[in-house]
A and B are shown apart, each in its own frame.
Chain A
Amino acid sequence: MSSFSRSRMAAPFLSVVLLTLLLIAWQLAVRDSAPTAGLDPEYAKLMGVAATTGKSAIPTPIDVGRKLMAAVADPFYDKGPNDKGVGTQLAFSLARVLLGFGLAAIVAIPMGFLIGMSPLAGATLNPFIQVLKPVSPLAWMPLALYTIKDSAQSAIFVIFICSVWPMLVNTAFGVAGVRREWLNVARTLEVGAWRRAVHVILPAAAPTIFTGMRISIGIAWLVIVAAEMLVGGTGIGYFVWNQWNNLSLADILMGILLIGLVGMALDRLLALAASGVTWRE
């Protein structure tokens, strides 16, 4: 067996071993301690288990697993506007992310082309991009709520404004980095600006653009959870907030796990799309 295929087999195996060790350590770390003695039973009835039995407030992996099983068994229940299944909540979050991300792509990619193809435009817009890029989504939210006057649109705006920058910067970088010789060949053949952009620059810059999109979708997914915790209503962020409100850490951990899994899936999807446009020399 070559060393390459051995490491391919070894990595997943080691991942599973690491996960098992972590779960065992977690389970042992949060075992129940001895019950508090001498508590008036009448009083104890009014208190939670954390106060009466000294049970750790952190749930065990088994608690989280049970919550996950229950959630997966009935992911789309609807018990009113404030209590819906995790499947429904994830769908709401995904819809917001795709809308905000889609709008960002529509703006960022053409803008990135412009900036990449024109050094003057790049230099002019660069200070704006550098100032706006590091602003946190939560800082945008009050402004968005105040000006847009609609919380659903504000959430989408915040995703848009946070996910637009990596795509813009990467597109510009990719476009500006297209090999001189290729552009010179196009010029020699007297190719028009539009054909040059679509047939020469776009394929050449595509891998860099997709890298920007991968960064952006990751940011969009980060942002949506924060935005939904703030504006509430629906979405996986609202779900986590609602369980925080009830101090139900098992539900919160389950929420974190789901957020992570969906985030990974989004990233894999774009990586797959990116591999379709990658070229080798």
Chain B
Amino acid sequence: MTLRCSPFDPIASHAAGCTCGTQGVSASTATGEQRMGEIVRTAVLRAAFPQARSRRALLKTLGAATTAAALADVFPLGMAEALAQDAPKGIEHPNLKIGFIPITCAAPIIMAQPMGFYAKYGLNAEVIKTAGWAIIRDKSLNKEYDASHMLSPMPIAISMGLGAVRQDWQIPAIENINGQAIVLALKHKDRRDPKTWKGLRFGIPFDFSMHNYLLRYYLAEAGIDPDTDVQLRVIPPPEMVANLRADNIDGFLGPDPVNQRAVFDGIGFIHILSRDLWDGHPCCSFSISKEFVTANPNTFLALSRAIIDATGFANKTENRKEIANAIAPANYLNQPPVVVEQAMTGIFADGLGNIVRQPLRAGYDPFPWESFGVWIMTQMKRWGQVKGDLDYAGVASSVLRATDARKEMTALGLTAPATNTKTFVVMGKTFDPSKPEEYLASFPIKRS
């Protein structure tokens, strides 16, 4: 793909068959180009000298022009600028703040910063680490973040006014599929049958999370009522391992690298991967308010391209190790690289002495299937988070922007599905998005 082949791009520098230079540069207004050039030069300078102090010192001694010229000797700046100018024109809002929770679900959103995906599309984005999902929600609704990493049920809940003041939010791209797991404390290693789990305490990251719905689904299939037979506690992902160690919970359905970290520290073991409950389930999403999209259409276009491009890149298993090392440092996940690598490559220790090879442990498929939204709403209703009649298809299509994503994916050379809906199988039961109420009625354990 030509877009990715900037010689200046750390990702492409060692990829075979680079076709740099074949990218055409279309003419645009001088001011727009100048501004874009400025953003690209800043991004390159930041990448070359990540420490603000040394960067400032350099600029002070050499002057901006000399620095740019010196950098141009090393990086073909003209080329990078030309590539960036292929991004949407007239970006209204190039300086962006994007929130994330330090988990591998957000890998595309995070890595797009150090690996230059935002810069490639003319954006100067800062990714801000956040302490928990409630804070992500509040900072996003308060417009402190221009866009954010969210659990995929969150934008749906916010758009329905559940657990938040109603605002219209959208999912231009799903971040990751699979990649979660049920982890139990080591003392439960002989208690693998969920039918015996009465009385246990489990951590979930948020009420409006796939983790909550998947854990409830798994428990209910085993005849355990998640509301009366066990305790579900909301614990932000970064604090799950500490709580498991303190014996404050018996297990959790958590995101990676939290699951692998519990194994790494000899506290817990991986009972089951979420892909074994529902292969291809969505987890986190890239989310943005409709207001921002309407007010800044070009910025939004550049941003969703950067994210879809990064997500597509993350989906290739051969890139996972490199991504793991890019996002492990303290500025991003703050985890040992070996933990992040295991979670992302699917070659991992299970905590019971076995090395498991499951390349499908984590996946990064950006396509926001509308059916995901319908399934999520059936579970919201199943567990009493929402009552009454729901406009399943209407809400799903207004939040999950499948048609727009298809256009961008095709433009980037990724394979996009031809339809916006599909049926899928969750723990042996087929889900048909056109019959949500029938699906809901088929569960013996439910609150509605």
| Interface check B261, CB cutoff 8 A | yes
Determine whether the beta carbon of B264 is less than 8 Å from that of A48: yes
Specify which chain A residues have a CB less than 8 angstroms from the CB of B329 in the assembled complex: 79, 83
Which of A51, A79, A230, A245 has the most CB atoms of chain B within a 10 A radius of its CB?
Answer: A245
Asked if B379 is at the interface (CB within 8 A of a chain A CB), the reply is: no
CA distance A83 to B102 in the complex (A): 13
Q: Check if A46 sits within 8 Å of B265, measured CB to CB.
A: no
Query: Across the two chains, which residue of chain B brings its CB closest to A243?
Result: B334
B7 within 8 A of A: no
Cβ–Cβ contact A151 & B265, under 8 A: no
Q: A80 vs B127: C-alpha distance in the bound complex, in angstroms?
A: 9
Contact (A233, B128) CB under 8 Å given A80-B331, A82-B332: yes
When the two chains form their complex, are residues B264 and A51 in contact, meaning their CB atoms are under 8 A apart? Answer: yes
Taking CB atoms, residues of chain A closer than 8 Å to B255 are: none
Query: Which B residue sits closest to A145, measured CB to CB?
Result: B138
Residue in contact with B330 in the complex, picked from A50, A76, A242, CB distance below 8 Å = A242
The interface bits of chain B over 118-140 (1 if a CB of A lies within 8 angstroms of the residue's CB, else 0) are 00000000111111101100110
Please give, as numbers and ranges, the residues of chain A lying within 8 Å of B134 by CB-CB distance. 142
If A82-B332, A150-B144, A230-B135 touch, does A47 touch B242 (CB 8 Å cutoff)?
A: no
Query: Is B50 among interface residues, defined by CB-CB distance under 8 A?
Result: yes
A83, B144: Cβ atoms under 8 Å?
A: no
CB distance from B236 to the nearest CB of A (A): 9
Judge if A246 is at the interface, Cβ distance under 8 Å: yes
Closest chain-B Cβ to A225's Cβ sits at a distance in Å of: 13
Size of B's binding interface in residues, CB under 8 A: 45
Tell me whether A244 and B242 are in contact (CB under 8 A): yes
| Chain B residues positioned under 8 Å from A51 (CB to CB) | 263-266
Task: Check A230/B131 contact, CB under 8 A, given A79-B330, A80-B331, A149-B142.
Answer: yes
Stretch at the interface among B213-221, B222-230, B297-305, B348-356: B348-356
Interface string of A240-268 (1 = CB under 8 A from B): 01111111000000000000000000000
Q: Does A13 touch B at the CB level, under 8 Å?
A: no
What CA separation (Å) do A80 and B266 show in the bound complex?
A: 31
B330 and A82 contact, CB distance less than 8 A: yes
1/0 per residue, CB under 8 A from B, across A33-52: the answer is 00000011011011110111
For residue B147, give the distance in angstroms from its CB to the closest CB of chain A.
15
Stretch at the interface among B15-23, B203-211, B271-279, B335-343: B335-343
Least CB distance from A148 to B in Å reads 9
Residues of chain B contacted by A231 (CB below 8 angstroms): 131, 135
A78-B52, A146-B138 known; A43 and B331 CB under 8 Å? no
Minimum CB–CB distance from A13 to chain B (whole Å) comes to 38
Min Cβ gap B248→A in Å is: 14
A47 touches B102 (CB 8 A): no
Q: How far is the CA of A79 from the CA of B263 in the complex (A)?
A: 29
Q: Is A57's CB within 8 Å of the partner chain B?
A: yes
Point out which of A39, A52, A77, A145 has the most chain B C-beta atoms below 10 A from its C-beta: A145
**Could you tell me the distance between the alpha carbons of A204 and B298 in the complex, rounded to whole angstroms?**
65
Give CA–CA (A48, B336) in the complex, Å.
9
- Asked if B51 CB lies within 8 Å of chain A CBs, one says yes
Min Cβ gap A177→B in Å is: 44
| A149: B residues at CB distance < 8 A | 142-143
Q: A55-79: contact bitstring with B at CB < 8 Å (1 yes, 0 no)? A: 0010000000000000000001111
CB distance from B256 to the nearest CB of A (A): 14
Q: How far is it, in angstroms, between the C-alpha of A81 and the C-alpha of B97 when the chains are bound?
A: 10
Q: Closest approach, in angstroms, between the C-beta of B346 and any C-beta of chain A? A: 12
Nearest A-chain residue to B353, judged by Cβ: A43
Q: Which residues of B lie under 8 Å from residue A39 when comparing CB positions?
A: 353
In the complex, B238 has a CB within 8 A of chain A: yes
A233 to B138 alpha-carbon distance, docked (Å) = 14
Which of B50, B334, B342 has a CB less than 8 Å from the CB of A242? Answer: B334
Contacts of B266 in A (CB 8 A): 47-48, 50-52
Given A46-B342, A47-B263, A78 contacting B51 (CB threshold 8 A): yes
| Interface residue? B239 (CB, 8 A) | yes
- Whether a CB of chain B sits under 8 angstroms from the CB of A122 is no
Q: Is the CB of B51 within 8 A of A81?
A: no
A114 within 8 A of B: no
A149 to B139, CA, bound (A): 8
Residues of the A chain whose Cβ atoms lie less than 8 Å from the Cβ of B335:
246
Give the residues in chain A near B144, CB-CB below 8 Å: 150-151
Report if A98 contacts B (CB, 8 A).
Answer: no
Given contacts A40-B353, A50-B265, A151-B144, contact A79 B50 (CB under 8 A): yes
* CB of B280 to closest CB in A, whole Å: 26
Q: Which of B261, B263, B330 has the most CB of A within 10 A?
A: B330
- CB of B136 to closest CB in A, whole Å: 10
- Of A47, A57, A243, which one neighbours B349 at CB under 8 angstroms? A47
Write out the residue numbers on chain A whose beta carbons fall within 8 Å of the beta carbon of B143.
149
B51 touches A241 (CB 8 A): no
Interface residues in A117-153 by Cβ distance below 8 A to B read 142, 145-146, 149-151
Residue of A nearest to B338 (CB): A46
Q: Shortest CB–CB separation between residue B126 and chain A, in angstroms?
A: 5
Q: Is the CB of A229 closer than 8 A to any CB of chain B?
A: yes
B241 within 8 A of A: yes
Residues of B within 8 A of A145 (CB): 135, 138, 142
**Residues of chain B contacted by A243 (CB below 8 angstroms):** 334
Q: Which residues of A are at the interface with B, using a C-beta cutoff of 8 A?
A: 39-40, 42-43, 45-48, 50-52, 57, 76-83, 142, 145-146, 149-151, 229-233, 238, 241-247
25 contacts between A and B (CB under 8 A): A40-B355, A43-B353, A43-B355, A46-B338, A47-B264, A48-B264, A48-B265, A48-B266, A52-B266, A57-B265, A78-B51, A80-B50, A81-B126, A81-B128, A81-B129, A81-B331, A82-B127, A145-B142, A230-B135, A231-B131, A233-B128, A242-B330, A244-B239, A245-B238, A245-B334
With A47-B349, A246-B334 given, can you name 9 additional A-B contacts, CB distance below 8 Å? A76-B53, A77-B51, A79-B330, A81-B127, A81-B331, A83-B330, A150-B144, A233-B129, A245-B334
